[in-house]
Amino acid sequence: MKRALFLLGGVALVVVLVIGLTQAGGKEESSTPQGGFDLAKAKQQLAGAPAPLAALHDQADELLEGGPGAFQKRMQELRGHPVVINKWASWCGPCRLEFPFFEDVSTAKGKTVAFVGLNSGDNQRDAKEFLGEFPLTYPSYEDPDEKIARAIGAPANYPITVFLDERGKQAFLRQGGYPSREDLEQDIKRYLGA
């Protein structure tokens, strides 16, 4: 009798573990951007954006070179539009957590707000792999030595999000990752009025 109870308990434990692992695996898969974000569809939703914003969408998910000069030129081209600059790195855990929010919000607001990435303190190969996993509707500038980050007043930690108003002036700087899409949207509304 004891042996039968022991065996039954062991089977029940295995069943609980299998169900738990299956459910945990399902949650992990469904939360990955690859499973839920369609860059081609997002770009279709952004069709008709004003020319400076459309130029960003044309370079979606690209890593751009050119250093501070190219970045500053882009910021001048974006005058008249609020800008959200997200400084990230492939090795940054909080960056990985907030990227799906930037994917979604840049799609929802990309016709009125400019989004630009800043890949700092990283190498090109790892950054490209990261973007392959988390595609964006906008480009990211390479900034391995953080010259661009320093020029816009972004500290050395990760992630950092800098908000520029329509005149190109800093309206807000957030240190640390966004815990939700709603928090990112609230900051855009609060600091950029968009």
Task: Give the chain's count of helices (H) and strands (E).
Answer: 9, 6
Per-residue confidence (pLDDT) for residue 3, from 0 to 100? 53
CATH number at residue 82: 3.40.30.10
Q: What is the pLDDT of residue 17?
A: 36
33-38 LR contacts (CB < 8 Å, sep 24+): 33/99, 33/100, 33/103, 33/133, 33/134, 33/135, 34/133, 36/100, 37/100, 37/103, 37/104, 37/134, 37/135
The percentage of the chain sitting over the pLDDT mark of 70, rounded to a whole number, equals 82
Instruction: Confirm whether pTM is higher than 0.75.
Output: yes
Please report the pLDDT score of residue 7 as a whole number.
42
Cα–Cα distance, 64 to 143 (Å, whole number): 9
**Structural domain for 103, as ranges:** 39-192
Predicted local distance difference test score (pLDDT) of residue 36: 81
Q: pLDDT (tens digit, 9 = 90+) per residue, 61-86?
A: 999 999 999 999 999 999 999 999 99
Residues 63 and 131 in one domain: yes
Same domain, 86 and 174: yes
Question: Both 25 and 108 in a single domain?
Answer: no
Q: How many domains does the chain have?
A: 2
The parts of the chain modelled with pLDDT lower than 50 are 4-34
